Structure 1
């Protein structure tokens, strides 16, 4: 099994979820997060002056899937989260040793 962690733009969430569902990936954990990467924040100029927002709002998806779905899930995320601009996000893939359902202990 693999855990895929994807950090994406919030406005891309629904498209990514729909694409994952089409690939047979149904379960996921979604968390609103803030962070920064290479873009190092956004500068704004207002009447009061200039200021920088150092952290950008993103969404984190955590998905645990069978190994056979790994490539399809990554492709679905990449194709649907990509805007072609800096700040589109990252995908991390980690091995998962076990997954146990609490109710059924499967």
Structure 2
């Protein structure tokens, strides 16, 4: 997926003993690794990490939906508004048709 090619995964988050929060990208023992400090709260940090982890899976699923709908040998049909929503989501993730 174009939008996450340069971000190491998995993402994780946590709270230090002093109450500050962090988000970690990739394995801290293996480069590349990134760490960000200070999301507003632990729930926000967890949501950011979860979103980053699911993005490649969501993109793969959306690409499969688009491919199935375009394949003339399948019976897959979606309303045009749903197809447009899939295209919009893929574009937001950096994928182009």
TM-score (norm 2): 0.26
More helix by share: 2
More strand by share: 1
Highest CA radius of gyration, 1 or 2? 2
Work out which structure has the larger RCO, using CA pairs closer than 8 Å and 6 or more positions apart in sequence: 1
